[in-house]
Amino acid sequence: MRALVTGGAGFIGSHLCEALVTRGDEVFVLDDLSTGAFENIEHLGEITAVIDSTLNQPIVRDLVREVDVVFHLAATVGVQLVVEKPISTIVNNIRGTETVLEEACRYRRPLLITSSSEVYGKGVNDLFQEDDDRVMGSLKRTRWGYAASKAMDEFLALAYWLEKRHPVVIARLFNTVGPRQTGRYGMVIPRFVTQALRNEPLTVHGDGSQTRCFTYVADVVPALIQLLERRDLAGDIFNLGSRECITIEELARRIIERTDSDSTIYYVPYEQVYGPGYEDMLHRAPDLTKVNAAIGFEPRTSLDEMLDEIIGNIRRKLPG
């Protein structure tokens, strides 16, 4: 199989490329390296990498024409980047996805689009199901632009299925973590781990009572491949996440313990980090009933196992 992975030099994309190469597929990567890094894929000598953007429609067209399937992961990621660059966030996510959809449809290439648990917005459900209503914050709160852009990606993808019967499936990811993820744009686990290994205070945003379910990238990647290969799942949306929830405060304490760090915890108001009026989801946990029934997905890696792997990976990269 020949596969195009947009955003293939990013954290999740590079692991997906690795899995595809390992099983003998021919892989093409499109990435502008704005948040990805070529070092994430340079060990995969058999791939074809194009350094460009999904906004470049002729390039997207040329690549889609050469492959059998498309995995669309390219997007603006990270709360810090979303807040600092709202225009590029919205344009990259919506126009980039529109371009990929148009070209995939032109050549009838099956397509998987990765979305985000952010589309659930300010909902307060104990578990979020794929068909739940969504609650969005004010349009004047920049941070909700990302959630809205990913929701529009989903609307557009489903429109291509309904109107043109183009085979597209959507995976909503819940806090995927693992080696190669950077804390540069606000991702909490690599940021906490780096601070702990340096014996610096772990900066918890808000009071730390917000809960998250972290999912290991090695559990997510096989599911992405399965979802795309199951043609009978086209035109549908699936949560991919973990059942193990933890508060951010407890996460910080767990990382301090597992790194044997002398770090303390420092609580920073959201406004100080992201500006006035920032809002966060207090609770974010997926209902996995649908994806389990469809492909038997069940997260296998515990949070402690994830943390130990990430700690070891970051420790090896730190100087000294």
For 95-104, 273-282, 284-293, 311-320, which range has the lowest pLDDT when averaged over its residues?
Answer: 273-282
Q: Tens digits of per-residue pLDDT, 210-255?
A: 999 999 999 999 999 999 999 999 999 999 999 999 999 999 999 9
Asked if 255 and 300 count as a contact pair (C-beta separation under 8 A), the reply is no
User: Residue type at 304?
Assistant: D
User: For the chain, which domains are there?
Assistant: 2-177+214-242+288-293 (3.40.50.720)
Asked if 35 and 76 count as a contact pair (C-beta separation under 8 A), the reply is yes
The pair of three-digit structure tokens given for residue 194, joined into one six-digit string: 């780096």
Active site residues: 146
The overall pTM is greater than 0.85:
yes
Asked if 217 and 187 count as a contact pair (C-beta separation under 8 A), the reply is no
Q: Tens digits of per-residue pLDDT, 66-79?
A: 999 999 999 988 77
Q: Tens digits of per-residue pLDDT, 287-297?
A: 999 999 999 99
pLDDT over 70 for what percent of the chain? 99
For the chain, what is the mean pLDDT? 94
User: What pLDDT score does 320 carry?
Assistant: 66
Query: Cα angle at 223 between 220 and 226, to 5 degrees?
Result: 160
Asked if 112 and 171 count as a contact pair (C-beta separation under 8 A), the reply is yes
User: DSSP label at 268?
Assistant: E
